[in-house]
Amino acid sequence: MHVIATAGHVDHGKSTLVRALTGMEPDRWAEERRRGMTIDLGFAWTTLGSGEVVAFVDVPGHERFVPNMLAGIGPVPAALVVVAADEGWMPQSAEHLAALNALGVSHGLLVVTRSDLFDPALATAEAQEQIAATSLGAVDAVAVSAVTGAGLDDLRAALDALVARLPAPDRDAPVRLWVDRSFTIRGAGTVVTGTLGAGRLRPNDELELAASGRPVRVRGLQSLGAPVAEAAAVARVAVNLRGIERDEVGRGDALVTPGRFHRTDVVDVRLAGDPVADLPSTLTLHVGSAAVAVRIRPLGVDTARLRLDAALPLRVGDRALLRDPGRHHVAGGVTVLDVSPPPLRRRGAAAARARELSTMDGVPSQSDELRRRGLVRRPELERMGVPAAGTPVAGDWLADPDHWSALRKRLAEEVADYARDHPLETGAPVDALRHALGLPDRALVDALVAPPLTARSGRIAQAGQGSSLPGPVADAVDRVRADLEGDPFRAPEAARLAELGLGPRELAAAVRAGALVRVADGVVLLPGALDEAVAVLSRVSQPFTLSDARQALGTSRRVAVPLLEMLDRSGATRRLPDDRRVVAGEVDG
């Protein structure tokens, strides 16, 4: 299926043309038929000679209803520009064409209607000249009369040629269905309609309402008035939603694939049309079927930051238009360059941003996005409309290669600084490094570790750091070693340790380095002491009491109690119910 919108001045015969082509009545409301005027969007469809089906979105021509017209053409890739032969080019012909141009619509036809009333040559030439200057370029023109039927066959042939040229939609893309109507059907509940420009929909699909983030489920699906098991882009669809009331969804909202669109109320854009400096500070932004007020902050000659009154699911490369509703004037076309732009707080940030934006083209590119952001999560990139590829550096983080090697260099410097400031520790804690490098995720720090750095138990060290003790600590340990010679279980008293300069941190470092063994807080022995204790105890009569052990080892309770508990825990000794112990492997009794 293809979807084509009409465009053109009020009363130039758009609805009559759609009726003649489809045999259907596009004006939906009694009021519209009574007044002979389209107020809101109408829909009708036909099968062309080739078998291709075309659905028409028929838009109102009256200037009061331009917002409705924009909601209809927003998501549609092609247009029929309709001009009446007897009236020629008129103000809304111009405004509608300006809107198509602003949105970058590049496929269409010129249809000159009411050719039975007036020679269509003049209107055709005039309109073709106007259209040639826009994104539509040189278009085929067909003169028709709905009264005599003249030209309708030519028009059908021209439509076939047109749809054959339309680019193939991306049917694997996530869904963003801009809602153009919502209503209630008795027994079915809430139904929304829209033009599906990409992706596909099926009953039971889980979607999200962009405005509220509410999850919804597709209960039923219709296209061209009949239930379907799948609708693939491009298609007109009516979606029956489960879990949502009629007043919770309306025109301008969108049904989106969960997690795949970035909802944003600030975007940086390129503008085409009126000079940026001449724009009023507020205008209405039309994108998809949505219309929201925006405040405009000019940045460069053709770039600006837009602050939206309501967040929308936007992507890099989206086309939109700015309109001044008071003046009935399309101020310009918008190409979204950045959907999560950096704040402009520092002095000079706006100028720097303007320079950066001047190099951006609205074509989503992973390498550009990574260069600007350094690091970005893959799903976030996808939400911005940037196709993501390549291997993440950690988790789902993608990194710009230059940024990544700069981070690796900084990590090495931070680790070296930390080693200098904390010579007794076995490395810098990962969290401190994460903070110092301003990284959002610990996994990134771990991923940055490469030789000669090593990671162990939450710390990152330079090769060799922590395995040798700084001079003064090593000297103090030598003195402890001398004290313990010949008296291996008489652990140095607190006063002696203080005298040697061995505080808790120095002791911990010496224990980590394997120079001392910790028995209890402030109680240290030489590394061989435990084996030696077992040897001594295995020579006393079994089982033995604490006091027996203390005497055999020649030490105090301060050492003997924790030492025996350590030996119990290691399985070298066993404590009996009567509190006496045996050395494992020795005979009880």
* Contacting residues toward ligand GTP, per CB under 6 A: 8, 10-16, 36-38, 60-62, 113-114, 116-117, 145-147
Cβ nearer to ligand GTP, comparing 11 with 205: 11
Cβ nearer to ligand GTP, comparing 116 with 265: 116
Which of 33, 36, 95 lies closest to 69, judged by CA?
95
Cβ nearer to ligand GTP, comparing 11 with 208: 11
Q: How far apart are CA 319 and CA 336, in angstroms?
A: 7
Token pair, residue 330, equals 């399309």
Going through 319-374 in order, the beta strands assigned E by DSSP cover 319-324, 329-338
Q: Is 493 exposed, middle or buried (0-12, 13-18, 19+ CB in 10 A)?
A: middle
Rounded to the nearest whole angstrom, what is the least distance from the CB of residue 106 to ligand GTP in the complex? 23
Angle at 299 between CA 296 and CA 303, to 5 degrees: 80
Cβ nearer to ligand GTP, comparing 72 with 197: 72
Q: How far apart are CA 304 and CA 296, in angstroms?
A: 7
Rounded to the nearest whole angstrom, what is the least distance from the CB of residue 45 to ligand GTP in the complex? 17
Which residues are bridge partners to 539 per DSSP?
A: none
Cβ nearer to ligand GTP, comparing 112 with 299: 112
Q: What amino acid is encoded at 358 in this protein?
A: S
Rounded to the nearest whole angstrom, what is the least distance from the CB of residue 153 to ligand GTP in the complex? 15
DSSP calls for 533-544: HHHHHHTSPSSB
Tell me which residue has tokens 């066993």: 574
CB 491 within 8 A of CB 519: yes
CB 52 within 8 A of CB 2: yes
Rounded to the nearest whole angstrom, what is the least distance from the CB of residue 37 to ligand GTP in the complex? 4
Rounded to the nearest whole angstrom, what is the least distance from the CB of residue 12 to ligand GTP in the complex? 4
Rounded to the nearest whole angstrom, what is the least distance from the CB of residue 16 to ligand GTP in the complex? 3
C-alpha distance from residue 485 to each of 480, 509, 524 (Å) = 9, 22, 14
Q: How far apart are CA 551 and CA 570, in angstroms?
A: 22
Rounded to the nearest whole angstrom, what is the least distance from the CB of residue 15 to ligand GTP in the complex? 3
Going through 341-427 in order, the beta strands assigned E by DSSP cover 375-377, 397-399
Cβ nearer to ligand GTP, comparing 38 with 134: 38
Residue nearest ligand GTP by beta-carbon distance: 61
DSSP-based three-state secondary structure for 551: helix
Cβ nearer to ligand GTP, comparing 114 with 181: 114
Cβ nearer to ligand GTP, comparing 141 with 448: 141
Rounded to the nearest whole angstrom, what is the least distance from the CB of residue 103 to ligand GTP in the complex? 19
Cβ nearer to ligand GTP, comparing 101 with 113: 113
Q: Which residues contact 546 (CB under 8 A, 6 or more apart)?
A: 557, 560, 561, 564, 579
Rounded to the nearest whole angstrom, what is the least distance from the CB of residue 32 to ligand GTP in the complex? 8
